[in-house]
Structures are given as C-alpha cells and as structure tokens.
Structure 1
Amino acid sequence: METCGVAMKWRRDGMSYWTRWCPVWAMLMCGALQAGAMAATCNKSVRWYDDGAYSYRGADGQPTGFYVELVREALRRMDCAAQWQEMPWARGLVELEAGKLDILPGARKTPEREKFAYFSRPVNRSPNVLFMSKAASQRFAFTRLADMVGTDFRLGIQLGVAYGAEYDELIKNPDFLARTQPLTSRRSAWGLLQMGRLDGLISDEVSAWVELQNLGLSNAVVKTRVVTSDDPGLLALSRLSNTPEFVATLDRTLQAMMNDGSYKRIRERFVPCVTSAETQACR
C-alpha cells in the first residue's frame, strides 16, 4: 500500500527538484507518529535508594515510596517517563552536578547546590533530628550539636547530606569533626547504635520512624530535642539536563496535585501521619 511518494517537479529555469507527496490520511498518521516520538523522548532519570518511607524496592521488585510515586505521577501528567537510578545520596549529588542524573528527590536547597541544580517548590517537611541509643541518652543531655565538643560522643553522619547551618559551622571544628563517622547508608547505622559502636545519628524524622519500626529498634533508640534543620525537602533538577521552563511546568503540576488531593493521598500511603497539603507536613 502506498503512503508517501516522491515526485519530480520542474522550475521555470528548467532545473528539477524532488518533492514528497502524501495522501491526507498518511500525513495525519505521520503527524501522530511524530507526536508520539516527541513524547517518548521526555524521559527523566530519577535517583532512588533504600530510604525509609521515601523510596524502597516493592514486592514486585520495582521502586516505590512517597518520593517515587510523587515524581512518577507528576512526570506522567507532563507526558514524561521516569528512569529510576539506584544510587547512594552522595553519588546522586555528583551525578546531578555532572548532568548524568536529571532529578534527585528530597534535597534541601543550599547555595553550593544552587550552582548546579534548579529546585522545585517544597514537597515535604520533616526535620533532621538527633537520635541517640538509649544508653547514650542516659550519658549525654545535649540541647544543641555544639554540646558534643569536648566529649567522647560518636556521631553518625550520612555523606553529602545537608544538616543545617549549625552543623556546617561545627564541621570546621577539628574536635567536632573527630566526633563524626561518615556513612554511606543511614539504615545500616541504626544497628551500629544498637551494638554500641555509635552513640547518635542525625536523621530525617519520618525516615527514622519507619526504619526503626521496621528494624524492631523503636525502644532501643531515643529521639532527642536537638533539631539540626527544618528546611523543606525539594526536588533538585540538574541545570545541565533541565530548563527553567521544565521546572516551572513541574511546579505547576505539583501544585495541581496539592489542589486535587492526589499529593495528600500519595504521602499518606507511605508516611505514618495525617498530611497537610498546605504545609507538606504531618498535621
């Protein structure tokens, strides 16, 4: 069956040129295929890792969790598809800066990160809090991170994570730095607290709730009153692979999800509290 053909035409100067002709139905079909091809090219690589309620491997072997399903639905509404990349947080930042990763969910905005990333509107509010083993909580009564200086406290920190302004200043202090133990995975650190190899760990509050419950350590680890940061979690997007227009469209899509109730439904599937869409936090 013929679709599009090629015909020779003659100009007045006697020179020939080739032109394509197509029946109307074929032109419509070609247009539809081209539109589909354009939509299919909107693929965004998104970081995920074993991270409590935010992202984990589901029973079907595929990533799921609050951030996973939030980004998946937002991209779907934008006629885009997510390509999930499993990697630790620190590597995710490196890949984002290099333009090899498009989207890193759950990031906090810092001046350093703004050099290589755009940021979405806030999508989650859960403070970073100091947790201690029960034994350590009986030895140390800190009201702020600076109280650790001059003690033998052993603090677990996750590589590449932004813990707030006080932490950023303290980490320049050699004595405080000596108190810290860098970790690739936060989840494995809870066992180190239980075994007495660490005294404390800074963690997102929601992640701690879920992970301690899943590990059966809710009674072995104590939440302190030391809040290191309360900045909202955002979606970080590489400046090398995204445009301001894409970020603006993403923000409008996220706002629509806040308005129609889908944001609240997605968050409450994974976070153990009633969610406020106005604050993106537990009520």
Structure 2
Amino acid sequence: MRQLVILCMFFSLLVACSSGPESSDTEKKEIFISAAASLSGALKKISEDFEAEHPNVNITLNFSGSGKLAQQIQQGAPVDVFLSADQNWMDVLEQDNLILPGTRVNFAKNSLVFISQKETDKKIHTLKDIDPGSIGQIAIGNPKSVPAGNYTKEALTNLGLWDNLIEHFVYAKDVRQVLTYVESGNAEVGFVYGSDLHRTESVQVLTEVDSDLYSPVVYPAAVLSTGESPELAKVFLSYLQSDSAQAVLENYGFMNY
C-alpha cells in the first residue's frame, strides 16, 4: 500500500511538471504601450506583426501628445513601454525614475513640414514668405505638451516670426488634430511631421522647414519601471529596432535612426 501511495504521488508530480509550462505558454500576456500620435499608423502595423510572431501576446496601444502621455505615466497609468516624439518628455520620466535603466533607445527620426489644403493657391516657398497680414489661422501642436508644436515654436522663434504670428495660432492636442484642422479648413495652414503626409491625400506641402532651425526630431523608446511586464516589454523594444519594424517605419515616412 505504501508503495502504491508513493507511486501515485510520483505520477501526480510528473503530470504537474509536464502541464505547467504548457499552460503558461498558452496564457495570454498583455503589453500596454503609450506612443506619440505621429506613430499611430506605423505602430499599429508593427504591433500586428509582433502579435503574429507572438500569438500569446496582446498589445494595447494608447496614442496622444507625448507630454500628455508622460503626465499620465507620472500619475500612475499602467504602461509598459513609452515611445516619445522628443527627448524632453523621456528625460522627464527618467528624472522621475520611471524608466527601467538601460532600456532607453532611439529608433526613428522625422522632419517638420508646413502644409495647406490641396486646393489652395497659396504660395509659400520658405517660412520667411509668411505674411502676418494675409495669413489666416495656423494650426500647431500645443508647444507645452506636443513635441511638433515645440519644434515649430523653435523654428519660428529662430526666424523672428513667433511673436508676429502668435495671434494666428490654433493649438491642437497632437499632430493628428493639426492635420484634421487643415483638412477641414478650420485652419488655413499648419505644421506637421513629414510622416503625417502618409495619413492623407487632402493636403499639400507648402515648404519643408529647414532642419537647421529646430532640434533634431528623434524618437526615443523605453521600458517603464512601473510596468507589469518588463521582460516582455524588452522583447518588444528589441523588435522595434529590427529590420522588419524599421522597414514599416520607413514605409510610413519615418527615417531610420
């Protein structure tokens, strides 16, 4: 009888050991990613490709202005990975010890363009051609929370135009809203990223902003120290730097870092 009990216990242990890994492999895992609004198209595609390679992973995406997302993280939002459109907001989180050390990487670059509706006959070859007396409303991201708006302010300030145009600005919560304002005619012109041109066929580029007028538009990413899936987040961050993910970013108008 004693041998039978021992045999049963041994058999139960074997079943437990063999079934444990199988159940953990099939268990659905979550990654929560907060990313700059300008990344929405490319990151949706990259996330779909990542999920296809990792069937047990489900990615939840949250897009907005980088500043707003950083503030959400500071307030305790459950985020595993943060992708910013500038270094400043990533610096803020790093200073607050909200970034997992050693995980911060730069993964893409962008440019700034000045746009209008496609039907307009307005001709502006350089920003110096902007006439405050004849220009209508200008849509820009709010410089306090939207990196594209901050880059715009930097460029216009360096040209001595910011103060002269300030009454014309319509502030948007992110670059997607800037694009919507111009598409709908609620703003005559606006400043967006070069990659945003892949979202619509309803606008045209009046001029590309001279890159010497503003800081380089470099996108950093990092795993957050407060996230619930740091190891899985690191796997995603590694994938973001892969050739396949970089090809997707390039297809959506970003430049490889």
User: What range describes the TM-score normalised by the shorter chain of this pair?
Assistant: 0.5 to 0.7
2:245 pairs with one of 263, 266, 280: 263
Q: Per the alignment, do residues 85 and 244 of structure 1 end up closer, same or farther by CA in structure 2, a change over 3 Å counting?
A: closer
Residues 54-203 of structure 1: pairs in structure 2 closer than 5 A: 54-55=39-40, 65-74=41-50, 81-89=57-65, 91-97=68-74, 98-105=76-83, 107-110=85-88, 111-116=91-96, 118=99, 120-132=104-116, 137-138=122-123, 141-143=126-128, 154-159=137-142, 160-163=145-148, 164=150, 167=153, 170=157, 177-184=166-173, 186-190=175-179, 192-193=181-182, 197-203=186-192
Cα contact 1:107–1:235 (8 A) shared by 2 = no
**Structure number, greater radius of gyration:** 1
Counterpart amino acid of residue 80 in structure 2: D
Identical amino acids, percent of aligned pairs: 11
Match of 1:59 in 2: none
Cα contact 2:178–2:190 (8 A) shared by 1 = yes
Counterpart amino acid of residue 106 in structure 2: P
Counterpart amino acid of residue 114 in structure 1: E
Cα contact 1:47–1:101 (8 A) shared by 2 = yes
Q: Which runs of 5+ in 1 are unaligned?
A: 1-5, 8-19, 56-64
Cα contact 2:181–2:187 (8 A) shared by 1 = yes
Counterpart amino acid of residue 220 in structure 2: L
Cα contact 2:42–2:248 (8 A) shared by 1 = yes
> TM-score if structure 2 supplies the norm length?
0.63
Cα contact 2:82–2:223 (8 A) shared by 1 = yes
CA deviation string 1:21-50 (max 9, x = no partner): 44253132243256437x64x421124798
The alignment of Structure 1 onto Structure 2 pairs a total of residues equal to 231
Q: Per the alignment, do residues 139 and 231 of structure 1 end up closer, same or farther by CA in structure 2, a change over 3 Å counting?
A: closer
Q: Which has the larger helix fraction?
A: 2
Q: Per the alignment, do residues 239 and 109 of structure 1 end up closer, same or farther by CA in structure 2, a change over 3 Å counting?
A: farther
> TM-score if structure 1 supplies the norm length?
0.58
Q: Which runs of 5+ in 2 are unaligned?
A: none
Q: Per the alignment, do residues 99 and 197 of structure 1 end up closer, same or farther by CA in structure 2, a change over 3 Å counting?
A: closer
User: Relative contact order (C-alpha < 8 Å, sep 6+): which is higher?
Assistant: 2
Cα contact 1:101–1:238 (8 A) shared by 2 = yes
